[in-house]
Homo-oligomer: A and B are copies of this chain.
Amino acid sequence: MAIDYKKELESAAKTMIMVHKPDTLIKMIARLIVQKVRVSHSGILIHDSEKNSYVLTVSRGTTGLKIPTGFARMDEDNALIRFFRERLDKETFNEGALVYEEGKRLLSQNLGSETKQVLKNALYQMEIFDSVACIPSYYRDDLIGILLLGEKQNKERLSVEELDFFLALASDVAMAIRNAQLFHELELELEKKYRLFIHTTIALAAAIDAKDHYTHGHTARVTDLSLLIVKRLSQKNKSAFDGKFLENLHIASLLHDIGKIGIPESILNKNGPLNDEERMRIQEHPIIGVSILKPIGELETAALGVKYHHEKFDGSGYPEGLKGDQIPLIAAIISVADTFDAMTTDRPYRKGLSKEEATKEIARVSGKQLHPEIASVFVELSEEGKI
C-alpha cells in the first residue's frame, strides 16, 4: 500500500490546533485534502451550535464542483446528518465511513424501514455533492462535522486502509475544530464585555454631560474628535500609538468631564459669565474626576487624560500648570478636541465660532495653549473637511 500523503496530513493535523479561527482552519483542511489525497474536491460540513445546523465549506480542487444553492446549510433533520448523528443501524455501519457504493449495495439488503429511508436520502445527498465517501468527525459523542470526499483524480477507489486513516484524522480534526470554536467563542465574549463596558460608560457619561445644559453632546463630540486625531497621529507614527493607547484615549475622552458631577448645578448652569469663586469651583472638575476613577487600577493611564486635559502647553493651565512634554499626550489630545468643541458651541452670553474660525484659532494658539504637533494634525484634518 502507498498512502504517501499520510505522514504529511498527520503532521498538518498536529499544527492545526494552533489555528484558532474556525473558518480558516476548515478551509485549510479541505484544501489540504484536495492537494494531498488528490481528490477532485472535498467538502466539510461543520456544526453551527447557535443555529442548530451544519454549514458546508467546499474546496473545489482542479475539476470543480457546483453545489446547488440552498445546500450550503443543512438542518439537523437532513438525512446525511441524521445518518451520522443517530448512528442508525450500528451493527451494519459500525460508526464508520459511509461509502457511496457500499451504501447502494446495503440498500438492497435487510434493513429497518426507517434506516433504509434515511440511508436512501443520505445517498441522494452524496449524489448532489458528487461525493464517493463521507467521514464523520465526532468529539466525545457530538457530531462536529462530516468530511465529504470527491472521487480520486486517478479514479482509483479509496481503500479500507485509507478510510480508516481518514476516520482517525477526522477525530483529530474534530478536536482542532472544537478547540478553535471554543477559542472563538471566548474571543466573542471578550468583545461583548468590552462593548458592554464602553456602552455603559458612554451612557453614564452622557447622563452626567446632560446636567450641564450648555454642553449637550459635548462628551460624544470630544470623543469622536480625539479618536480622529489619534488615528491620523498613528498614521504618521505607528509605534507611538498602539491599541492600548487608543483604548485609554477612548475611555479618557468619555470620562474627561466626569468630575462635573461634583460641581453644583447652580454654577454649571449659570446664565452668564462666572465670578472668580465659581470659576475656581469649576476648575476643580479634573481633580474630582480623578478621585472618582482612582479606585479603578485599570484606568490609571486613562485617568491622566482626565486629570490634565486643562493643562496648557505654555504652562498656564490647571490643575498643576504642567508645561510642554510634561503634559501626557493623552491629555494633550483631549485638550485640542475639548478646546475646539468649546469654541464652536453656543453659550447664552456668546454665539459659538464657525468651524473655519475655530480652526484658525486652534492654529493661532498652537504652541501656546495647545501641543503644536497635535494642533497641526487637527488643522490638517479640518482643512481636509474631516472635522
Contacts and interface: CB of A to CB of B under 8 A. Distances in A.
Contact of A199 (B262, B266, B295): B295
Contacts of A266: 265
A320 interface: no
B17 A175 contact: yes
A190 interface: yes
B298 A179 contact: no
Copies of the protein in its oligomer: 2
Interface string A9-25: 00000110110100000
Nearest to A171: B14
Interface in A258-288: 258, 261-262, 264-266
Contacts of A172: 14
Interface residues of A, number: 48
A187 interface: yes
Contacts of A387: none
A179 B18 contact: yes
5 contacts: A17-B17, A183-B183, A196-B299, A207-B208, A207-B258
Q: Which 4 pairs, one residue from A and one from B, show the smallest C-beta to C-beta distance? A: A197-B197, A193-B193, A199-B296, A204-B204
Interface of A: 14-15, 17-18, 20, 139, 171-172, 175-176, 178-179, 182-183, 186-187, 189-190, 192-197, 199-208, 210-211, 258, 261-262, 264-266, 292-293, 295-296, 298-299
